[in-house]
Structure 1
Amino acid sequence: METAEAAPAPRAGRGSQHPQTVRRWAEDGKAAQVKEVDIGADERFVICFNPEAAERDAAIRERLIAQLTAKIDGSDKLSATKRAELRGVISTKPGLHRYLRIAPRGLLCIDQTAVKAVTRLDGKYLLRCSDPKLSTEDIAPGTSNSSKSNAAGAT
């Protein structure tokens, strides 16, 4: 499948309320999206979304939640002291701890609010640039032809 090339989008004006969106099509037909946000005369943010990374992030999160569920299953029957020990063990594992919620009576459960919040970030990452002369395509990796040719030339 051919790579669709879009003309470089004009930069959003300083103080613009609507970020400029530039789309590039990967070889497999999935869209990688890049949005530029101007925040002042000296800095810009580029928000990138990678669908392949989103799938990977979701799979990792599902695996972490399954591990946490396996650890806390049956913890309701433990004494408060044993549950506190289990909580302490889980707190040493940041990947699991971020999804752990302590119910009012000290019961351990999955924090669905945290899961929902993290789900919104799947495949997204933020880049900051202080060079006003660089285009969005030059800032965001994998969106310009030059990055593809550089990657192809490296051995």
Structure 2
Amino acid sequence: MICLLICLYHRKRERRPPNLPETWRARFIAYQKPKGEIKGFVTSLVDPTRYPLDKLLNIYWQRWEIEEGYGELKQAQLQSKVTLRSQFTEGVRQELWGVLIAYNLVRLEMVAIAKEAEVAPTRISFSAAISLIDTQLMWLALSPDGKLPAKLKQM
């Protein structure tokens, strides 16, 4: 792991807002992932006593997991269409709750699949899971026999 104190400069003085300094200090943290590739990030939390490296990495990983969840939700589940249909506050809340409930239901199903396959839940692709569920629901909708509840349970 590498931790460097760096100094950043604003490239164009005429575009720099007057309340920002011409230079500022930051901390660059580089680390090696298990597969060998090197990743890094820059933070304004420069004091190593107040912000130890292990705590910064822990916070970074938590935030990264949250960002990945947002990405899955926006790109896979909502198909990069972030437009909400409702024109009223209560309708927007209801729509958001529906999106979040659906996301968590897919995640729960992924955990169940992972348990059955005896693999870590992180090995199951969210995009693949939601695509499979979507395809199954389309086939169920075309089913003429009227046994939708039983087929949903089987799915």
TM-score, with structure 1 as normaliser: 0.28
Higher relative contact order (CA 8 A, sep 6+): 1
Q: Greater share of strand residues, 1 or 2?
A: 1
Which has more radius of gyration? Answer: 2
TM-score, with structure 2 as normaliser: 0.28
